[in-house]
Structure 1
Amino acid sequence: MKVDLPNQTLKIHETIEEMMIRLEEFESIVGMVQNLRAECTFEHLVRFRSVNPQLMELCKRIDALEHVVARANIDLMNLEAAVDTAEVELGVSTTVSDRLLGIFNPLSLFVSLSINYYNSECSCIAAKEKKKKKKMIKPFF
């Protein structure tokens, strides 16, 4: 039995050569990607450093705005407590939900205005009628 070892190993060597070529191609692609990543990182780092003062100013403004909102919230809570205290002292029975309903229902403003207008018109008419009656009652001397 004769074994032709060089012919059988030739196919293995060809396969190894193809794998080595593919490995070199892959290595070059990985190298290009790493170079591009380094360039992009450097560009972003430079850009971030140039924008950093503006970013810090924006952060300070956001912090200041948060303080304003917190202060407004505290003042609003104090105002609501004072209004509740005043309502209790005056005996008014409106709740927060009633006040909010009035704020969110724009027609309630017109209804209250029309009621006030109607009441003022009625009082004006009543006053005019009283004047007419006084004129009629005056005796002639």
Structure 2
Amino acid sequence: MVEKLAGEYSQYLKKTDIGKEINPICSSIEEMMARLEEFESLLVTVKIDSNSSIQQNIPQILAQKAEFDLLCQRIDSLERFVATVNENLNTMEKTIEIAEEELNVTDYSIKGLLKPLFNKSKSTNRPRSNLENGEFKTPILLKTSDYFNSESESVDKS
């Protein structure tokens, strides 16, 4: 039975052209090997380029770190300055609102400003006032000299 099977396989191999079936596979393998070699050379080139780029750019980036840190400090100082100005603006707006209530000023024309002076009926029931111990206390405002140098207009102080 083994001899018969071997004989049939030999006849099959003689009748079929193995070269026709194997040649496309071999050429496909050769093409894949060529592409793999191209990819490998491309990978080596990219690796060399990235190493040289890193070696050149990292020192330049590190050299800029001090300037970047200074810029971050200036931005932080500017943010604190803007917050302080905003606080002062809110304080002044509140003070003006209270003053307008005390003077009964509702419009900003000359007539509206003079109206409280000639109005005989004054209300004695005023809940809000800018007076402390009978005197007007000026709100504490920022000093720009604390934030800006006279030489350069940069934000210095927090």
* TMscore range, shorter length: 0.5 to 0.7
Corresponding residue for residue 12 of structure 1: 25
Aligned length: 97
DSSP 3-state at the match of 1:92: coil
Corresponding residue for residue 40 of structure 1: 53
Between the aligned partners of 1:86 and 1:10, the Cα distance in structure 2 is 100
The structure with the largest helix share of the pair is: 1
Cα distance, 1:23 vs structure 2: 1.0
Candidates 36, 56, 62, aligned match of 1:23: 36
Q: Which runs of 5+ in 2 are unaligned?
A: 1-10, 111-158
Candidates 88, 99, 102, aligned match of 1:75: 88
Aligned-residue CA RMSD in angstroms?
A: 2.3
Letter in 1 for 2:96: V
Superposed CA offset, 1:90-119 (max 9, x none): 11114xxx7xxxxxxxxx9xxx8xxxxxxx
Report the identity percentage: 35
Q: Of the two structures, which has the highest relative contact order with CA contacts closer than 8 Å and spacing of 6 or more? A: 2
Between the aligned partners of 2:86 and 2:95, the Cα distance in structure 1 is 14
Candidates 71, 75, 85, aligned match of 2:98: 85
Superposed CA offset, 1:60-86 (max 9, x none): 001001000000000000001011111
- TM-score of the superposition, structure 2-length normalised? 0.54
- TM-score of the superposition, structure 1-length normalised? 0.60
Between the aligned partners of 1:60 and 1:82, the Cα distance in structure 2 is 33
Letter in 2 for 1:4: D
Cα distance, 1:41 vs structure 2: 3.0
